[in-house]
A and B are shown apart, each in its own frame.
Chain A
C-alpha cells in the first residue's frame, strides 16, 4: 500500500495560508504546552496561583488610594476599588499575554532549532495558559461584588464576547511581536514599556466619560478601550458606548488576522536566525 500521508517540502515565499488541518493535528501538543505553562508558572513559589489575584489586587489598592482620593475620580455608584479591579483583570491578562508571548519564541529556541511543529503553538500556548489567570481573577471579582453587595445583571451573557475580543487583540499583538523578536531583540525592551504606557491610554483607572470628546475618538482605535468598558458593562452593569465596543472589536479582529499572517510570513526563517 502506498503510504497515505504524503508531504511535500519546498521553499515558501511571501504570504502563507493558515494550515488549519495541521493545527488541528497538533491540538494535543497545544494542550501539553498550555499544561506545562500552567504547571511551571507558579512552581517553587510560596503563594502559587494566588499571584493571579495578588498582581491586580496590589495594583488596585495603589490606584484606589491614588485616584479615588487624590485625583477624585467618581465612578457613579460603583465603588472605585471594584471599578478598577474589574478593569485590571482583563488588562493584566492583556499586558501579561503580550509581554510573555512576545518572548515565548526566543525562550523556545532549542525546540525551534531541533524539531518541527507549527510555531504558532508557542505564543498561543502562553496566551491560552494565561486565560486561567483571568478566570481566577474573575472569581475574585465575584468575591468583591459579594463584599460590596453589588448585584449581578443579565449583562453577564456578554462576558464571553469581551473575553474573546481581548484574546484576539492579545494574540494578534503577541504573534506579531514574538515573530519580530526572533530577529530584533529590541522588542524585548519595548514591550514592557509599551504596556505600561498603554495602561493610561485605556479606560482602566478612569471611566470613558472622563475622556474629552476630542481624545475619545482616538481611543476608539485602542482595541482594549472597548473591551475594558465592555467587561464593566457585562460584570458590573456599567453604561457602555456600543460604537466604541464595535470599533474596538473590529480592531481586535484586524490585529489578530494581521498578527497571524505576519507570523506565518516570518516563521520560515525562525530556525535560521533565532
Chain B
C-alpha cells in the first residue's frame, strides 16, 4: 500500500467575532490594516488550551491519519464537527494553524459544483471557464467537451447564457463538468445533493465510477447511505477531534451509536427550538418550541406504535405582519434519508388572516405508518414560500412494534407500511378482478 495523503497534527483556529470594532473610524481601520500583519505573526503560533480560548475557537484539533492509494474515505460528523474545515485545509483553500499534510499525486477538489460560473456566459463558455478553474487544461476540456455536454443533456442550449437556464439545467451542467475531472486524488463535499432524483442517481453512478478507477477519494456528506455505498474507509470527527477511524461500516455504526443523540433530550415531549444546535447559522431563530402529543392529548415521550396517531404543536414567532406562512415537519431515517414530510402548504384552500408575533401551528397526523425504528424530526418554517427557519434533528421519535395489520406480522424491510387488501380470483379470468383494482 502506498500512502498518498499523510495528515499529521492538523489544527485550525478561528477568530470569533472580531473586526466589528475595527470599523469605528476610517483612520482606525487604516492603522489596524497596517499593524495587523505584524501583530498576527507575533501570536500566530500561540498556545492553546481547551476548545475556546478567549475569542478564538479551535475548529480542528490535532488530526492525524494516513490515506492509502485507492481508498475512498468518508468523513462523518455532526454539524460543526470540522468536516468542511478539514476538506478546506486539504484543498489548500485555507491554511492550517498547526501541523502539515503531504500529498502525493494530482489533486482536485470539489467543494461545490459550478464554482466561477458566470451568468452572462454561455454554457459552452462556462464549460471552459469552470474546467480551467477546476484545474483542467484547455486540451483536456476540448477532448471531453462532447461527453460533458451529453452527460448534462443541455445540447441545444449550449450557446445560451446560463442565466437563462433552469436551475436543473444549471446544476446538471455544473456537475457534469466536475464529473469529468480526472485527478488521482479527488476531494468531494456534499456535491451529490444536486438536481432532481433521476440526476442524483446518475451522479452517484458517476461518483462510484470515479471511486472504482482506483483513485483516492475524500468524501464528506451528511448522507450516510451514500458514504456507506461509496466509501471503503470512514473517519469520524467530533467537535474538531478525530474519534474514530476504520472501515466505513464501522465508522457509521460508531457515529450512529455514540454521537447522534448528543444534545437532544428524547425523554421530553417539549423541545425547545429557540437555541437548537441543528439550525443553519444563516437563520434567525423564529421557531420556538415543538410539542408532541398522542391523539388524546397525552404527552408523547418519543415512542409511538406503528401506525399510531400523533399531534405536533409548533410554536413560532412572526417578526412582521404576514398572511402567508407555513410550518413543516420532516421525518428522516438515522442515516439521513427523508421518509416523509408533513407540510401545512400541502393542505388545499387554507387561508390565514394577517398575523404577527407568537403563533401556534397544530399538525394532526392520524396515522404514522413507518416501520419500527428511530426517526429524526426536522422542523421548518416558511414565509411566502421561502424557508426562513429550519431545525435539523430537533428530536428523535422511536416507532415501536405494534400489531398494525392485526396479524402479528410486521415488515422490517422498506420504509413504511402500506394499507393493502388482497383477494383471490379464478386463474381463468384474471383480468376481471384486476380491472376493478386498477
Point out residues on A near B: beta carbons under 8 Å: 2-3, 5-14, 28-29, 32, 36, 39-40, 43-44, 108, 110-117, 180, 183-184, 186, 190, 265-266, 268, 271-273
Contact = CB atoms under 8 A, between A and B. Distances in A.
A273 B137 CA distance: 30
B91 interface: yes
B169 interface: no
Given A111-B116, A113-B93, A184-B29, A9 B101 contact: yes
18 contacts: A2-B104, A3-B4, A3-B105, A7-B107, A8-B101, A14-B37, A32-B129, A110-B115, A113-B93, A114-B111, A115-B134, A116-B91, A184-B22, A184-B29, A184-B32, A186-B29, A271-B88, A271-B94
Nearest to B91: A116
B90 A9 contact: yes
Interface in B127-167: 128-129, 132-135, 137-138
Interface string B83-97: 000001111111111
B84 to A, nearest CB: 10
A159 B48 CA distance: 57
B94 A272 contact: yes
Contacts of A184: 22-23, 29-30, 32-33
A116 B107 CA distance: 11
A232 B105 CA distance: 53
Given A3-B4, A7-B102, A44-B120, A115 B115 contact: yes
A52 to B, nearest CB: 18
A16 B95 CA distance: 13
Nearest to B103: A7
Given A32-B128, A184-B29, A9 B137 contact: no
B95 A12 contact: yes
B346 interface: no
B92 A114 contact: no
Contacts of A110: 112, 115-116
A115 B41 contact: no
Contacts of A5: 103-106
Interface of B: 2, 4, 14, 19, 22-23, 26, 29-30, 32-33, 36-37, 41, 44-45, 88-107, 109, 111-112, 115-116, 118, 120-121, 125, 128-129, 132-135, 137-138, 184
Contacts of B23: 184, 186
B33 to A, nearest CB: 5
B96 to A, nearest CB: 6
Contacts of A111: 115-116, 133
In order of increasing CB-CB distance, the 7 nearest A-B pairs are A116-B92, A10-B100, A3-B105, A9-B101, A32-B132, A3-B104, A7-B103
Contacts of B137: 28
B100 A9 contact: yes
Contact of A114 (B102, B115, B132, B138): B115
B95 A11 contact: yes
A36 B129 contact: yes
A36 B99 contact: no
B113 to A, nearest CB: 10
Contacts of B29: 184, 186
Nearest to A10: B100
A114 B93 contact: yes
A14 B45 CA distance: 12
A28 B91 contact: no
Given A11-B96, A28-B138, 11 more contacts: A5-B103, A8-B102, A9-B100, A10-B96, A32-B128, A32-B132, A39-B121, A43-B120, A110-B115, A116-B93, A183-B36
A44 B161 CA distance: 11
A67 B371 CA distance: 86
Contacts of B32: 184
B91 A40 contact: no
Best-surrounded residue of B2, B4, B132 (most CB of chain A within 10 A) = B132
Best-surrounded residue of B128, B135, B184 (most CB of chain A within 10 A) = B135
A222 to B, nearest CB: 20
A45 to B, nearest CB: 11
B41 A13 contact: yes
Given A184-B33, A266-B37, A272-B14, A9 B103 contact: yes
Contact of A268 (B30, B95, B115, B129): B95
Given A3-B105, A10-B100, A111-B116, A40 B121 contact: yes
Contacts of B133: 29, 32, 111, 115, 117
A29 B137 CA distance: 9
Best-surrounded residue of B19, B32, B36, B95 (most CB of chain A within 10 A) = B95
Contacts of A43: 120
B102 A14 contact: no
Contacts of A190: 26
Best-surrounded residue of A11, A113, A265, A273 (most CB of chain B within 10 A) = A11
A11 B40 CA distance: 13
A29 B129 CA distance: 8
A68 B138 CA distance: 52
A3 B105 CA distance: 5
B104 A6 contact: yes
Contacts of B19: 183, 273
A9 B89 contact: yes
B28 to A, nearest CB: 10
A271 B32 CA distance: 19
A9 B88 CA distance: 11
A128 B263 CA distance: 53
Contacts of B138: 28
B94 A13 contact: no
A7 B132 CA distance: 20
Nearest to B136: A28
Nearest to B137: A28
Contacts of B184: 3
A14 to B, nearest CB: 5
A117 B45 CA distance: 25
Nearest to A180: B33
Given A110-B115, A110-B116, A11 B97 contact: yes
